[in-house]
Structure 1
């Protein structure tokens, strides 16, 4: 008999707990040291005046928060985030969902297309930003896009000059290329969970194209869509590399290139004062804003779903409405006399 089989139940449970902590202990210690302790220390530091040091010097209470909430530079950085989120969240959602709908029914080379669209996710944001800045959207005439414009008889454009808001094209295309494949994979996983007999029932009722997407695919992808929207919003708030490495020149930081993380980086580490107390207060504000946005999105989508279900209960569904709930009943015929 083996040693494990000869152990008494109490000794076996103690042995299981010991091995559990042996395997999970390093992860728990790393999580505490590198995540929770810095977060708590940052919250504590936000109430102090800490310049060029991580040690609190003088207590200022809510002074750092009051300064940021009335600072024109910080409010402009929040406006930059809002503009970036308004552009990147719906475009990435639509593109990734469209790619998933195109790749899901493919019978040949589906694995190849999944890998090809997902591969940019492994690329570094810094490397991609430099490629976009120095090669594709370079303002000089040898840039890829400007070369194409010149071949069409058009004048080159200063994409990163900040004069005509064309830099949003650079930022949005960069982020789309980097993350659309990742969210496409999430949508593909959601599409694979939809029963095939639902689509077969739709085909019997004559539903094709947009009707199938509207009444079957989108309602069944509700949970995946909520997760994608939350991840996209949080990811927009974490925008740093593309702004810092694409729009900022050496020694210059234009206002339109300062989303919240870039602004706080300049306040905490990039300027001579290195006001870590002010930077810590900014991170707390950003955390609260992200949490409020996430909870608001969840509640809004949940209420919308509850309202849709209530309307379906009150109103007799049309044939294609019944298909969205998985019913296989076809269109009703006239009553026999």
Structure 2
């Protein structure tokens, strides 16, 4: 009888502890989950809903159009041009960021002192706002033709000043766009590579040295780089997704009082002007956003399959 009573009491205590754990879980997670649902998933669902309606100047449309918005968006040369802009931006920014962040990680990882200092210094730009960085680049470094640090340095060597953001032949604005993104994100990916480098077992390098491998390029090629495969795949994946989502630097660098120029419009800038510009076509903009989301998903899944992301390493 005593044993049964004790067992029942233990079960009640166990159930009470489980209820307390569940209660505290929802106390801490509930507000975040509610905010995520309210400000992320509800707008996403409503955007998909709007994409099937004629939604000019309204978020509560009544005229169902089916797939007409999707057909119009895919037939729009400006939208296809925005995807081409993304592809060109990706071709610039992904390999440049990958190479620079890996080089910085290798250099910082070899330091014997002040490693934490240099890691923090290189990572610090990642905490900077893209809007602020774009304005600094535009107003201080590449400001107009007569002003700006870049043209001042060119003048020291007797070179003519350059209209960095106003000309298309040659398209110097790509240099401005790529350098500001490089400055902002290289430190973040450097930290990812540093984490990958510190996970490589030292015994691999010891075994390579015993086998006659020379330090430097040979060790990097046969030991370090293959060991960073999983980190490299994740970095490239994040870089491609980030390139798809480029907006702040394009909009703040290239737009002025006259509006945004017809060149170098990435998808998000194009959709911004479609949905919130003079036409206020929220249905067409929502259809473009859904198409862009599907493109990102397809590219991400294809890249993950090709690179073997998530598979167990042999």
Q: Same fold per TM (> 0.5)? A: yes
- How much has 1:6 moved relative to structure 2? 10
Per the alignment, residue 293 of structure 1 pairs with 299
2:251 is matched with which residue: 239, 244, 263? 244
The question of 1:35 aligning with 2:37 is answered no
1:124 is matched with which residue: 124, 129, 132? 129
**SS, match of residue 217 in structure 1:** helix
1:280 is matched with which residue: 275, 286, 306? 286
Structure 1: how far apart are the matches of 2:285 and 2:62?
A: 15
- How much has 1:139 moved relative to structure 2? 2.5
Per the alignment, residue 267 of structure 2 pairs with 260
Measured on the aligned residues, the alpha-carbon RMSD in Å equals 1.9
Structure 1: how far apart are the matches of 2:31 and 2:148?
A: 48
Whether contact under 8 Å (1:78, 1:260) holds in the other structure is: yes
Structure 2: how far apart are the matches of 1:27 and 1:166?
A: 43
Per the alignment, residue 48 of structure 1 pairs with 53
TM-score (norm 1): 0.86
Per the alignment, residue 90 of structure 1 pairs with 95
The question of 1:108 aligning with 2:117 is answered no
Per the alignment, residue 142 of structure 1 pairs with 147
Per the alignment, residue 66 of structure 2 pairs with 61
Structure 1: how far apart are the matches of 2:260 and 2:160?
A: 27
Q: Which runs of 4+ in 1 moved over 4 A?
A: none
**Unaligned stretches of 5+ in structure 2?**
1-9
Whether contact under 8 Å (1:230, 1:294) holds in the other structure is: yes
Superposed, which structure 2 residues align to 1:298-313 within 5 Å? 298-302=304-308
Q: Deviations over 1:127-177 (max 9, x none)?
A: 110111111012332210110011011111111123211111000100000
Structure 2: how far apart are the matches of 1:57 and 1:150?
A: 60
Structure 1: how far apart are the matches of 2:11 and 2:74?
A: 66
Structure 2: how far apart are the matches of 1:162 and 1:290?
A: 30
Structure 1: how far apart are the matches of 2:83 and 2:213?
A: 49
Structure 1: how far apart are the matches of 2:46 and 2:286?
A: 9
Structure 2: how far apart are the matches of 1:202 and 1:20?
A: 49
Per the alignment, residue 183 of structure 1 pairs with 189
Per the alignment, residue 13 of structure 2 pairs with 8
1:24 is matched with which residue: 26, 29, 32? 29
TM-score (norm 2): 0.92
Whether contact under 8 Å (1:99, 1:184) holds in the other structure is: yes
Per the alignment, residue 321 of structure 1 pairs with none
The question of 1:165 aligning with 2:171 is answered yes
The question of 1:79 aligning with 2:84 is answered yes
